[in-house]
């Protein structure tokens, strides 16, 4: 009887040990024995910000096609599994859970805009899964965990760069700022601009917020006009910027319009209203670098349109992740995260390394809108 109990005990111990080892293996999503590497994607493919999600998705898919055509990663093809978050936080969380629990992906690219990304970062941090957002610029995105990275620069940096540009390149002394009170992106960029502009000798003569559903800005703009600012900073997404810019002209404000990367696409809605304006962006189609021109050529051949910055960031995100997995030699979460932190890659949006907060250190393009076209005005290096 004692021998039987001993055998049962050893058997039970073996079962528990096997279960524990199987649990550890989940960090690799069971893909070590798979002939593919599964990468998950979360992006707004429909809804109000779909223009950004579709562009980022297209860029990512183009990079995956190139990598697969060249033999894949670690001799395996990439399988890309993507869900539409519609720009909604709940949808983003549902998409994340499907990718991790059902599809057993090895890494996640996404989300695209800041709010859905912030909704999933705590979940990703808990799992430890490698996650890179191509385009979510809110400061807190990478704060959730050491496995969270991004390809775009952050909101505060955009605000500081544009304030510095206004002071030094445009010789502005008075600035007005309009921002969306319901949007973390808009608020974060606006605050950084104001703080830098004032700290370096400028005066913010008007700092006005508006609601997410606002359509008539003329009352705010009439007050701005009385302050006679040299520049008017509008850190919001292109559709809202286009609407505000049209009313700026109607009210008769002569200030130079400034913006951040959310302006990318504004020429599709209000080209005349933003003529002569400047905004910072992640890259420019005017850039003569070989990596940039090759990307533009392939993108136009594939999608029959010029790639906006979100497409370039989606493309670069895949390249960064693929290089990290190749360097790690495995899809084990911890190994890939370590390799991501050591990234040093030159691609479309510049030579990219990561700082201690897993935010990229790279060039920023200043774009001027001239004759209805986005033109590279200058590039700013943060180092």
The domain limits of the chain are 33-153+288-363, 156-281
Strands (E), the chain: 36-43, 77-84, 107-109, 131-133, 148-150, 174-180, 203-210, 231-233, 256-259, 278-281, 345-347, 350-354, 360-361, 364-370, 373-380
How does pLDDT run along the chain (383 residues), one tens digit per residue? 444 344 334 433 343 333 333 333 346 544 455 799 999 999 999 999 999 999 999 999 999 999 999 999 999 999 999 999 999 999 999 999 999 999 999 999 999 999 999 999 999 999 999 999 999 988 899 999 999 999 998 888 899 999 999 999 999 999 999 999 998 889 999 999 999 999 999 999 999 999 999 999 999 999 999 999 999 999 999 999 999 999 999 999 999 999 998 898 899 999 999 999 999 999 999 999 999 999 999 999 999 999 999 999 999 999 999 999 999 999 999 999 999 999 999 999 989 999 999 999 988 999 999 999 999 999 887 65
Query: Contact at 8 Å (CB) between 29 and 331?
Result: yes
DSSP string, 195-233: HHHHHTT-EEEEEEEE-TT----HHHHHHHHHH--SEEE
The neighbour count for residue 219, using CB atoms within 10 Å, is: 11
CATH of domain 33-153+288-363: 3.40.50.2300
Same fold: 33-153+288-363 with 156-281 = yes
- Bridge partners (DSSP) of residue 136 are none
**Of the candidates 18, 10, 31, the residue with the CA atom closest to the CA atom of residue 336:** 31
CATH of domain 156-281: 3.40.50.2300
pLDDT at 33: 55
What predicted TM-score, i.e. pTM, was given to this entire model?
A: 0.79
**Of the candidates 314, 307, 263, 267, the residue with the CA atom closest to the CA atom of residue 284:** 307
pLDDT at 379: 87
CA distances from residue 266 to 48, 111, 229 in whole angstroms, order as listed: 14, 22, 22
How many whole angstroms separate alpha carbon 209 and alpha carbon 176? 11
DSSP-based helix, strand, coil % in the chain, nearest 5 = 50, 20, 30
pLDDT at 196: 97
Query: Contact at 8 Å (CB) between 85 and 113?
Result: no
**Of the candidates 16, 40, 92, the residue with the CA atom closest to the CA atom of residue 331:** 40
């Amino acid at each position: 009887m004692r021998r039987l109990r001993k055998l049962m005990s050893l058997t039970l111990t073996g079962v528990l040990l096997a279960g524990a080892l199987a649990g550890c293996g989940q960090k690799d999503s069971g893909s070590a024995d798979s002939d593919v590497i599964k990468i998950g994607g979360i992006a707004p493919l429909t809804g109000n910000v779909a223009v950004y999600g579709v562009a980022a998705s297209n860029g990512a898919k183009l990079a995956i096609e190139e990598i697969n055509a060249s033999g894949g990663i670690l001799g395996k093809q990439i399988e890309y599994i993507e869900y539409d978050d519609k720009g909604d936080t709940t949808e983003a969380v549902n998409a994340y859970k499907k990718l991790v629990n059902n599809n057993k992906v090895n890494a996640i690219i996404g989300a695209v805009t800041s709010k859905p990304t912030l909704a999933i970062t705590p979940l990703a941090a808990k799992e430890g899964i490698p996650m890179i957002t191509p385009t979510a610029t809110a400061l807190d995105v990478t704060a959730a965990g050491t496995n969270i990275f991004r390809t775009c620069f952050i909101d505060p940096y955009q605000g500081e760069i544009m304030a510095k540009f206004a002071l030094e390149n445009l010789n502005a002394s008075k600035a007005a700022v309009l921002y969306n009170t319901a949007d973390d992106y808009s608020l974060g960029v606006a605050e950084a601009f104001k703080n830098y502009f004032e700290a370096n000798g400028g005066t913010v003569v008007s700092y006005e917020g508006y609601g997410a559903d606002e359509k008539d800005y003329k009352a705010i703009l009439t007050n701005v006009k009385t302050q006679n600012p040299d520049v008017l900073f509008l850190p919001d997404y292109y559709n809202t910027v286009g609407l505000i810019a049209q009313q700026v002209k109607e009210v008769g404000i002569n200030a130079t319009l400034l913006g951040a990367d959310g302006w990318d696409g504004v020429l599709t809605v209000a080209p005349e209203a933003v003529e002569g304006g400047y905004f910072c962006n992640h890259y420019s189609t005017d850039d003569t670098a070989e990596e940039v021109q090759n990307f533009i050529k392939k993108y136009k051949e594939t999608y029959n349109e010029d790639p906006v910055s979100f497409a370039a960031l989606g493309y670069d995100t895949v390249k960064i992740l693929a290089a990290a997995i190749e360097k790690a030699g495995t899809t084990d979460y911890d190994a890939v995260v370590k390799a991501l932190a050591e990234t040093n890659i030159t691609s479309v949006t510049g030579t990219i390394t990561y700082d201690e907060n897993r935010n990229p250190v790279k060039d920023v393009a200043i774009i001027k809108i001239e004759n209805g076209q986005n033109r590279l005005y200058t590039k700013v290096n943060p180092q």
